[in-house]
Amino acid sequence: MSSITNIQEPTLPWRFLHEYQPIDGVFDEMLAGPGKLRAHCEAFVHSLESMGPHEFASRHDNARRAIRENGVTYNVYGDPQGIDRPWELDMVPLVVSADEWSRLEKGLIQRTRLLNLILLDLHGPQRLLRSGLLPPSLALANPAFLRPCHGIRVPRDIYLHMHGVDLARSPDGQWAVLADRTQAPSGAGYALENRLVLLHSLPEAFRGCHIHRLASFFRAQRDTLSALTPTQHQPARVVLLTPGPYNETYFEHAYLARYLGFTLVEGADLTVRDRRVFIKTLEGLQPVDVIFRRLDDSFCDPLELRGDSFLGVAGLVAAVRAGNVVVANALGSGVIETAAILPFLPALCRDLLGEELLLPSVATWWCGQPAHLSYVLEHLEGLVAKPAFPSKGQEPVFGRKLSDGERKGLAAAIRARPEDFVAQAHVELSSAPVWHRHGLEPRSVVFRTYVAAAGDSFAVMPGGLTRVSSTQDVPIVSMQRGGRSKDTWVLSDGPVSAVSLLAPTDPIRLKPATTELPSRVAENLFWLGRYVERAEHIVRLLRSFVSRLADQDTTDDPRQVSTLLQVLVGLRVLPEELGQNTWLRKLEEETIDLIANQSPHTGLRNALNEVHRLASVVRDRLSIDTWRILNLLHQDMPLGHGRIQFEDVLVHLNRIIADLAAFSGMEMENMTRGHGWRFLNLGRRLERSVNLVGVLRGALGVAHTADSAIVEPLLEIADSSMTYRRRYYAQPRIASALHLLLVDETNTRGLAFQLAAVSDHILRLPRDPRAPSPTREERLIAHARDTLGQADVIASQSWSEDHVAALDGLLGSIADDLQATSDAITYFYFSHAELRVS
Amino acid sequence: MRCDVTHTTEYEYSESVVVAHHVAHLRPRTLPHQECLHHELAITPAPAVTSAYEDYFGNLVTFFAVQGAHERLVIRARSTVTVSAPERPPPRETPPWEAAADRAALPFDAVEFVFASPESRPPWSVDAYARASFPAGRPLLDAVLELTARIHDEFTFDPKATTVATPLAEVLASRRGVCQDFARLEIACLRSLGIPARYVSGYLETVPPPSTPRLLGADASHAWLTVYCPGVGWIPVDPTNNLLPSDGHVTLAWGRDYTDVSPIHGVILGGGAHSLRVHVDVVRLADGEPGRSDQPVPA
């Protein structure tokens, strides 16, 4: 709210673009001249103006918050924020008129058809190379030309199931193509997320303008991919193949997988048998029909493509060659991602389609052509030189920014390997207003839209991802360079019907993605359960200690602090040095410091980091609300510096407990009871058992000296104080407390309850019919429950030191069984999934 | 010559391999001067899938998958091949080398071999090394013979010096290597001048006829190159032995470099550490003598 108070209350009606000043000589997307609004933007601007600046600024803040809470991230390589960089969205969309769009749409579809035909030829007869319409070296010197993929027939002759096109508008108002993304174009998921955020933030504006919806595009894409099944297997199993959580756009892989109803997989989740691709699930190998990939061509198969790829599937090319699986986009489609092809498109379009190319490309020269080479060398100063076949870390070079010496060096490099370079005319990008602080600023924009195979033809996404430069004077628009994005609104001539992927009239029935659980996902859910529970346990331990430390003066039993300290040091939640403090004041300070600065000693930071990491990896399995809770937990973590009191620490710990409780609520109430939930809950139950056994043993260790001093904190840590009071109406005693925590099967926080739950889960896990019965996990957990029965007998007898020792021994045996159970589950279900199902 | 070739590759793994996918280039090509009369590939344990096809370069490839757990994999290729000496133009009568470097005039199939594969980008120093033998206007084959002789004389054959992964820059610096290194060095030299050159994988006769010296590289698979000569075609060149092959070299496959034609490579799941043993035997057959692979194979 603080940002709003800085805005002066206007006395006149708000003029949205009143102070907005586009740069001279640059085409602006909203203003046709000073104060002259473009006609197609009027409805949008009026809807904002009737809202007023306060409301707009407040919604802008809310939208940013929503993005943070939804965990929309974009990974910038080398960024200190790592995989958590929030996605940046500007609230003012790029608005495209209906007329202009219909022209663009025709040009885009023509372009995709053209590129698709070129790909068919390059991987087939190569007439274009032999006839010289395309210089042979454009393909042959191109590292993206994958010879193992030559000669493979692709179903329905479709290479490009999804084609991304970067468009820029030149000062004369014409759109031109900057680049084509043909192997695994990114950004469509972000475009969708941007749309959802704006739909919630500016509903009036949406009602005021007729804007094309995006859902029908995604539905067409989903239906088309699902219909590609190479076998008669129905419904088709489609997976979305991601390079994994460290990829820059992992967020949208998970997002799109959930939206489209495809299973999100990494290369390691897939395996090839009999030249068919299978997904490794807990229930064995399940055949895969279509792979919608977000992995670059050459990484898809370490056997026939890049041998050093750990992201792909060995034997995938062989499976594709045998016609047993469809990869979209088809393998090899990266070959025309090179800008070197742009100068040849007009002639190719005439040859292949008998049409004039409708959508021009930015003027481009490929130095692999002698005539182009000499032009480029003569005009280097006015051009932008780029690698023709880009690999990571290669940047465009602006000729005009080079010194004479640097330019000579560049010319020499070009002469030595001319086919490695292209040069492009410098494009003066158009500008659009961007909300910055409390006003609008012009920024350069590049618009990426998408063309997808749809039925027998291609369909254009009526919208897309508009990216703006990070500052006014940077001419390069790139999310990797910290740019922002905008939603893109394509206006319709008439009303637009609402289509949602979730519409009940949806004609196709896809297998819900949740019925299939890749072994890797099961493992991550299991550990997510364990770490969530571990985090809660540590917080409860710390809170019980801090609250007693804070209430030193008023507490009934002053021994509680020292007893608890002893237990927590024993459990390695507090460092040993802390126990050696004789000065109370010092002890207080150091405790606050440990928690406020998230010292690694407590283990809390590690547990919460693991929760966040694991949740990121399985986020396509979590509901948006569940993810939001886990994300809040992550953002609540730092307490900061400065003067921190006990109260602050307690508030902090309570907030974490509340967040964790909210997650547990989601887990119990919102998750389908499939194997995914089972592994999550199994992890939680096992972890809670382990923690309970640990804290009970710690309490037994001090019980003979300070019985009453430990019982109350123990009940509190195990969240059983209320239950105890209702049962016993008395001052807590160790024997009755042990009974409640160990063997009372109705106490949902007690050990007996946890072991019963673990046992139940294990019995319901999918099993290999060849495995011995009972399984190792079953035997272990049965043994732990027997042991617990013996402990009951001991605990109910009169209290003595011998009994304490015997009880400790039994609890130790249970701890061993629990550890072995966890190992057995890991062994059978996660690490050796291959062996199990071979 | 007519000969029997036996090429045995044996993998041993310290741990069980669950699934193995392999691609083999073990079937000799049929060419104007070479005929493959017989070929068989025996794989133990028996693969679940075998499929043979022609690759982009026209080589005969076998893809196979072994899907049961195994600790040992043996691939034995047996072929009977006849090779005749290819025609060879007098070196001084070949066109000037610049004609082979005129990309616009080259046939499409030759342009393919002007470029290195992404994995085999040569260092800049190769260019300087090559230029010494290629003054302007010199007949192509004449220059190639000199370059071949220089590589043979200035480099030491040393099986311990390199592996298939050793960068060319290192070979150039240490002046040591094996047939693969000398072949790829000469290829890189020719390509740096714009002349098309192909990497060839194949075999040499194991025990040569009496009074002929035994050639280097005869007990394993061998590697050499072919250079494109306008008006003539592809001429084979063996820098390891400093000669132009005649009928003693059996051609298996060709490509841009080793990775296009490696006799066998695979991706396995499991396996731990592995050891590899390769044995090649090429036996010349007398006129009328039946080839070993014509005879029934013992069970």
- Minimal C-alpha gap between A646 and chain B (Å): 54
B41 is a domain residue: yes
Rounded distance between C-alpha atoms, residue A478 and residue A488, angstroms:
17
Spacing of C-alpha A712 from chain mean position: 43
User: For residue B237, is pLDDT > 90?
Assistant: yes
Residues in chain A: 838
Whether chain B has a CB inside 8 Å of the CB on A831: the answer is no
Say which residues have a Cβ less than 8 Å from residue A658's Cβ, sequence separation at least 6. Answer: none
Q: Residue B147 belongs to what domain range?
A: 91-260
B residues 111..130 contacting A (CB < 8 A): 111-112, 114-115, 117-118, 124
Q: Is the ipTM of this complex over 0.85?
A: yes
State whether the Cα torsion A631-A634-A640-A645 is positive or negative.
positive
Domain shared by B68 and B165, yes or no: no
Q: Is B224's pLDDT higher than 50?
A: yes
Count of structural domains within chain B? 2
The pLDDT value recorded for residue A188 is 94
- Confidence grade of residue A563 (pLDDT, cut at 50, 70, 90): confident
Within a domain: B246: yes
Residue written as token pair 């000296």: A705
Q: Which residue has the tokens 């039994």?
A: A810
Task: Examine the domain organization and report whether B185 and B112 are in the same domain.
Answer: yes
Considering the domain boundaries, does residue B7 fall inside one? yes
Residue A301 pLDDT greater than 80, yes or no: yes
Q: Are residues B214 and B267 in the same domain?
A: no
Query: Is residue A779 over pLDDT 50?
Result: yes
- Which residues from chain A sit within 8 angstroms of residue B108, using beta carbons? 126, 129-130, 136
Name, in order, each residue with C-beta under 8 angstroms of A40's C-beta and a sequence gap of 6 or more. Answer: A95, A96, A97, A98, A100, A491
Note the pTM of the prediction, 2 decimals.
0.83
Residue B128 pLDDT > 50? yes
- pLDDT tens figures, B173-212: 999 999 999 999 999 999 999 999 999 999 988 777 777 7
**Which residues in chain A are classed under CATH 3.30.1490.270?**
363-425
The CATH number for B280's domain is: 2.60.40.2250
Closest approach of A369 to chain B, Cα-based (Å):
10
Closest in B21, B56, B103 to A315, CB measured: B21
Which residues 6+ apart lie within 8 Å of A582 measured at CB? none
Residue A498 burial (C-beta neighbours within 10 Å; 0-12, 13-18, 19+): exposed
pLDDT for A85 equals 67
CA distances A535 to A269, A528, A632, B15, B196, Å, are 29, 10, 15, 38, 64
Count of CB atoms situated within 10 Å of the CB of A293: 28
Candidate from A205-209, A580-584, A668-672, B293-297 with smallest mean pLDDT: B293-297
Question: Domain check: are B32 and B174 in the same one?
Answer: no
Q: Which of A342, A339, A260, A327 is nearest to A294 (CA)?
A: A327
Cα–Cα distance for residue pair B4/A224, rounded to 1 Å: 53
Is residue A362 within 8 Å of A342, Cβ to Cβ? Answer: yes
Instruction: Give residue A730's pLDDT.
Output: 67
The set of residues, in sequence order, having a beta carbon less than 8 Å from that of A511 and lying 6+ positions away, is A235, A237, A261
CB within 8 Å: B269 and A271: yes
- Burial class from Cβ neighbours inside 10 Å (0-12, 13-18, 19+) for residue A772 reads exposed
Q: Same domain, yes or no, for B116 and B33?
A: no
Q: What pLDDT score does B286 carry?
A: 82
d(CA A784, CA A494): 69
> Is B299 part of a structural domain of the chain?
no
pLDDT for position A9: 46
Q: What percent of chain B has pLDDT over 70?
A: 94
Banded model confidence at residue A721, pLDDT cuts 50, 70, 90: confident
Residues B106 and B221 in one domain: yes
Give the Cα separation of A774 and A828 in Å (integer). Answer: 14
Nearest-angstrom CA–CA distance, B152 and B155: 6
The whole-number average pLDDT for the span B255-277 is 88
Mutate to test the interface with A, among B119, B262, B267, B269 (most CBs of A within 10 A): B267
Per-residue confidence band for A498, with pLDDT thresholds at 50, 70 and 90: low
Sign of the Cα torsion A600, A601, A604, A610 reads positive
Q: Determine contact, residues A181/A166, Cβ cutoff 8 Å.
A: yes
The CATH number for B229's domain is: 3.10.620.30
**Mean of the pLDDT values across residues A545-563?**
78
To the nearest whole percent, how much of chain A has pLDDT over 70?
Answer: 88
Q: Are residues B142 and B174 in the same domain?
A: yes
The pLDDT-based confidence of A732 (bands split at 50, 70, 90) is: low
Say if residue A83's pLDDT is above 60: no
Q: Which of A430-444, A466-480, A524-538, B224-238 comes out lowest in average pLDDT? A: A466-480
For residues B27-50, average pLDDT: 94
Asked if B37 is an interface residue toward chain A (Cβ–Cβ < 8 A), one would say: no
B123 and B45 assigned to the same domain:
no
The pLDDT of residue A637? 60
CA A469 – CA B198 distance, rounded (Å): 47
pLDDT in tens, A89-129: 899 999 999 999 999 999 999 999 999 999 999 999 999 99
Q: What is the pLDDT of residue A309?
A: 79
Asked whether residue B185 is assigned to any structural domain, the reply reads yes
Asked whether the beta carbons of residue B108 and residue A150 sit closer than 8 angstroms, the reply is no
Give yes or no for residue B159 having a pLDDT over 50: yes
B267 to chain A, closest Cα gap in Å: 6
pLDDT above 90 coverage of chain A, percent: 45
When the pLDDT of each residue in chain B is averaged and rounded to a whole number, the result is 90
Task: Provide long-range contacts, Cβ within 8 A and 24+ apart, for B108-113.
Answer: B108/A126, B108/A129, B108/A130, B108/A136, B110/B196, B110/B228, B111/A136, B111/A137, B111/A140, B111/B196, B112/A136, B112/A140, B112/B196, B112/B256, B113/B191, B113/B196, B113/B197, B113/B198, B113/B228, B113/B256
Same domain, B157 and B111: yes
Q: Which range has the top average pLDDT, A498-502, A547-551, A819-823?
A: A819-823
| Bigger pLDDT: A505 vs A233 | A233
- Residue A39 backbone dihedrals phi, psi, to 5 degrees: -60, -40
Q: For residues A484 and A472, what is the distance between their CA atoms, to the nearest angstrom?
A: 12
User: What pLDDT was estimated at residue A774?
Assistant: 85
B162 in the same domain as B247: yes
With an 8 Å Cβ cutoff, are B115 and A140 in contact?
yes
Instruction: Note the pLDDT of residue A666.
Output: 87
Q: Once rounded to an integer, what is the mean pLDDT over residues A12-30?
A: 84
pLDDT at A838: 22
Residues B120 and B255 in one domain: yes
- Same domain flag for B104 and B249: yes
pLDDT tens digits, one per residue of A670-679? 888 888 899 9
Measured CA to CA, the distance from residue A664 to residue A650 in angstroms comes to 21
Among 3.30.1490.270, 3.60.20.10, 3.40.1800.10, 3.30.565.10, name the CATH number for the domain at A363-425: 3.30.1490.270
* Structural tokens at position A561: 């602090």
Each residue's pLDDT tens digit, A310-329: 889 999 999 999 999 999 99
Closest CA to A449 of A181, A115, A240: A181
Determine the Cα–Cα distance for residues A145 and A361; give it in Å rounded to an integer: 22
Q: For residues A779 and A770, give the distance between their C-alpha atoms in angstroms, rounded to a whole number.
A: 17
Closest CA to A433 of A445, A446, A421, A442: A442
**pLDDT surpasses 60 at A379:** yes
pLDDT band at A10 (very low <50, low <70, confident <90, very high): very low
Question: How does residue B289 score in pLDDT terms, banded at 50, 70 and 90?
Answer: confident
pLDDT, average across residues A659-683: 89
Give the span between the Cα atoms of A291 and A293, in whole angstroms: 6
